[in-house]
Amino acid sequence: MRFIFKTKYSQDINIAKHNGDRFWYSLLILIMVALPLVLDDFYLGEISYICILSIAGIGLMILSGYTGLASLGHAAFLGVGAYTHAFLLTNGIPFYASIPIVIVVSFLVGAAIGIPILRLTGMYLAIATLALGFIAEHVFIKWEHFTGGNRGLPVPQPEFLGMSFYDSVFFYYVCLVFLIAAMFAAINILRSPTGRAFVAIRDSEIAAQSLGVNLGLYKALSFAISGAFTGLAGALLAHYIGYLAPDIFNIFLSLTLLLLIVVGGMGSLHGTVFGAIFVGFLPQLIAICRDYLPSSIGSQPGLEPMLFGLILVFFILYEPLGIYGRWMKIKLFFELFPTYKRQTFKKQKVFTKSDRV
């Protein structure tokens, strides 16, 4: 058990709580930087993809995990980011200028979507975002001047800092830098008054409102910030895929992002990375499952959605805090050993909370 002796209030919002944190996270970054020395191109590509998923996950986590607003249409933001980026690059805007524009555009799109529909709560919001996701997918198909429609849109791979995006080591470093930057930005947003307001809204709208949090403003802000992160991920995803087709940004991708944050652990930034690793390796996991199942079942295309659903249901029912929650429990077990009690995390009996007035 570690006791942190606090002498100043500002210690409450320190990024690193103690030297152990500093040591381990620095070590992690060092290992990530050194990875290209030991891994080949295939695994670097996979890890780049996981970095991109993590950035998108941070976006959705801020909205769903921290502000408590469900979004079933987040693939739309990935699409906005990817198409804007590809469009700008095609028109000769350099990479370093395109990324900030993408972030601003996705932020504005998030705000524009957020302001009208954030008067809705709970499941109405989920339904509305679901519908918006469908409409966005349709817009990507029909707005051919901008997106190339069903023919698709090739993503230019320009030179950046004298390196090419085709170089998987370079692309890996780009993704890693953006992930670290996004993580840092998210941590700072969440320890600022804005982030505290988000959490307050999640825990109780009425309490937040009584403390002077402007619900409409902060919900729209949360949507916009979430859109900006996801749009950035979309821009990187465009480079990763190389060729944009509208059916990439469908409802299944939105639900994959939700799976990511649920499996990783709602309400924790660690969870986004855990969830991204899980989702990134899910296709491989399914491929392994196929080998072990009898071929009559293993060769079925329906296996993937079925496993997807089973994992989702399993986590919602038995581990609502996700992988990160399980990790916290294991950590606590060793910290308190041998006095750990199972009851610490026992689910409390609760009754239906009514939205009705």
Partner 1 sequence: MQLIQLIIDGVASGCIYGLVALGFVLIYKATETINFAQGDILMLGAFVAYSLIGILGMDYLTGFALTVLIIAVFGFFLDAVVVRQIIGQPAFATVMLTIGLGFIFRGFASIYWGTDIFSFSTPFSGKITEFNGLIISYVNLSIIIGTAILMSALYFFFTFSKIGVAMRASSENQLAAYYMGIPVKFIFSLIWSISAGVAAVAGVLLAPITLVDTSISLIGLKAFAAAVLGGFGSIPGAIVGGIIIGIVEQLCGTYENYLFEGVREISAYLVLILTLIIYPRGLFSDKAEVKKV
Say whether residue 116 binds partner 1 (CB under 8 A). yes
> Pseudo-torsion of CA 308, 327, 265, 68, nearest 10°?
160
In the shown chain, the binding pattern of residues 257 to 276 toward partner 1, with x for contact by CB under 8 A and - for none, equals -x---x---x----------
Please give the residues from 298 up to 337 whose contact with partner 1 meets the rule CB under 8 A. Answer: 300-313, 316-317, 320
Look at strands 159-160 and 153-154 and give their pairing.
Answer: unpaired
Say whether residue 37 binds partner 1 (CB under 8 A). no
Interatomic CA distance for residues 273 and 264, integer angstroms = 7
Say whether residue 297 binds partner 1 (CB under 8 A). yes
| Cβ nearer to partner 1, comparing 115 with 185 | 115
Do the beta carbons of residue 37 and residue 173 sit within 8 Å? no
| Cβ nearer to partner 1, comparing 51 with 276 | 276
Query: What residues contact 130, with CB distance under 8 A and at least 6 apart?
Result: 72, 73, 251
Say whether residue 350 binds partner 1 (CB under 8 A). yes
Structure tokens at 326: 């399980």
Say whether residue 100 binds partner 1 (CB under 8 A). no
Structure tokens at 261: 């944050």
Structure tokens at 81: 């980011």
Interatomic CA distance for residues 270 and 251, integer angstroms = 25
Specify the stretch interacting with partner 1 by CB under 8 A; choose among 214-222, 226-234, 235-243, 280-288: 214-222
| Cβ nearer to partner 1, comparing 2 with 349 | 349
Specify the stretch interacting with partner 1 by CB under 8 A; choose among 8-16, 36-44, 51-59, 133-141: 133-141
Say whether residue 141 binds partner 1 (CB under 8 A). yes
What amino acid is encoded at 81 in this protein? Answer: G
Question: What does DSSP assign to residue 247?
Answer: G
- Residues 33, 93, 127, 289: which binds partner 1 (CB under 8 A)? 127
Structure tokens at 266: 């709602």
Do the beta carbons of residue 261 and residue 275 sit within 8 Å? yes
- Residues 89, 105, 183, 255: which binds partner 1 (CB under 8 A)? 255
| Cβ nearer to partner 1, comparing 91 with 352 | 352
| Cβ nearer to partner 1, comparing 4 with 357 | 357
Interatomic CA distance for residues 10 and 198, integer angstroms = 20
| Cβ nearer to partner 1, comparing 102 with 255 | 255
| Cβ nearer to partner 1, comparing 36 with 227 | 227
Say whether residue 117 binds partner 1 (CB under 8 A). yes
Q: What number of CA atoms fall less than 13 Å from residue 286's CA on the CB side?
A: 19
SS3 content of the chain, % helix, strand, coil (to 5): 75, 0, 25
- Beta bridge partners, 342, equal none
The nearest distance, CB 227 to partner 1, in angstroms, is 17
Binding site for partner 1 (CB under 8 A): 64, 68, 70, 72, 116-124, 126-128, 130-132, 134-135, 138, 141-142, 205, 215-216, 219, 255, 258, 262, 266, 297, 300-313, 316-317, 320, 349-357
